[in-house]
Structure 1
Amino acid sequence: MSSEAPGRSTLTVASGLSRNAVIIRLEGELDVYAIPILREHMQRVWELPAKPFLILDLGAVAFCDSMGMNELVEVMQRCESRGTRLLLAGVHGVMARVLSITGLRHAFEVFVRFDDAVRLAVATL
């Protein structure tokens, strides 16, 4: 966890569109303070017409608490209700450990490399 003041998020969210995927990059800490930022960003995504894939690039996530994991589960459920496949990309280090410890590793489609998730989305055109 960072040494910044309590109650301040260190998460940044960026996104882009490809032909058949929404790509969202998270950087920083996915914790209780980051949830409002991620939800606000995701609300804009949910307002778009559904794409076949949503790729969450977690390669730059330095910390993830239980609230962050809960939010990822909610994103997965929302994707399922829209007929969108959620791909977690850049899963290594902290995120790999958190997914393993929580037993959620097999609940998600997980890719160590971002490029592998993108390749799957492109190959499914």
Structure 2
Amino acid sequence: MITIATTPAGSRPGMAPAERVTVNVRGELDIDSTATIEPTLAALARAGLGELRLDLGALAFCDTSGINLFLRLHRICARSHSALVLTGVRGQPARVLRLVRLHHTIDCRFVDPASARFGAPHGAGVAELPRVSTWTGTTRP
């Protein structure tokens, strides 16, 4: 399920005020759901907005189909001179994005696990984590 909200995001030189579009992605992002939402998200990415934000705060699961979707959207946004930002990244999707190091390519705003654990309001614990992984080893952290 996706929910779309439009808010001003400032302006770029020589252009009308750009807009930030926030899309709330909920549930599971797998091969079936990705195929369903990709046309809408790709159209938004091609619109040349200032910023396309995907709020993943309510996303419970993301597989390689979701990762590939994010990469395709990132390329489309780059061609349209706009930015793709993944916000509210937590849980299993956060682990997958870190595992494939997508946060080195796409701006990912991870939720601080401590604030999520204590019931902080959604978005209150959003912080950019270091881009260099501090975990090393052969087992899951």
TM-score of Structure 1 vs Structure 2, range by shorter chain: 0.7 to 0.9
Hey, what does 1:95 align to over in structure 2?
A: 93
CA-to-aligned-CA distance 1:20-40 (integer Å, 9 cap, x gap): 201111000000011122113
Q: How well do the aligned residues superpose, as a CA RMSD in angstroms?
A: 1.9
- Check whether the contact 1:91–1:112 (CA below 8 A) recurs between aligned residues: yes
- 2:80 is aligned with what amino acid? R
Of Structure 1 and Structure 2, the greater strand share is in: 2
Equivalent residue letter for 1:91: V
The number of residue pairs the alignment matches comes to 105
Give the letter for the 1:99 counterpart.
L
Aligned-partner Cα distance in 2 for 1:80–1:43: 12
Q: How far is the alpha carbon of 1:105 from its aligned partner?
A: 2.0
- Counterpart of 1:62 in structure 2 is 60
Please identify which structure carries the higher helix content.
Answer: 1
For 1:89 and 1:55, the matched residues in 2 are separated by 7
- 1:25-80 per-residue CA deviation (whole Å, 9 max, x = no partner) reads 10000000111221132244246x42111111011111111111101110111111
TM-score with structure 1 length normalisation? 0.75
Correspondence list, 1:46-85, <5 A = 46=45, 49-85=47-83
Q: Is the 8 A contact 2:22 2:53 kept in 1?
A: yes
> Which structure carries more relative contact order (alpha carbon 8 Å, separation 6+)?
1
- Identity over aligned pairs, percent: 29
1:27 match: 26
- Choose which of 106, 109, 117 in structure 1 pairs with 2:107: 109
Which whole-Å CA distance do the structure 1 matches of 2:45 and 2:84 have between them? 13
4+ runs deviating over 4 angstroms: 113-117
Do the aligned partners of 2:56 and 2:86 also contact (CA within 8 Å) in 1? Answer: yes
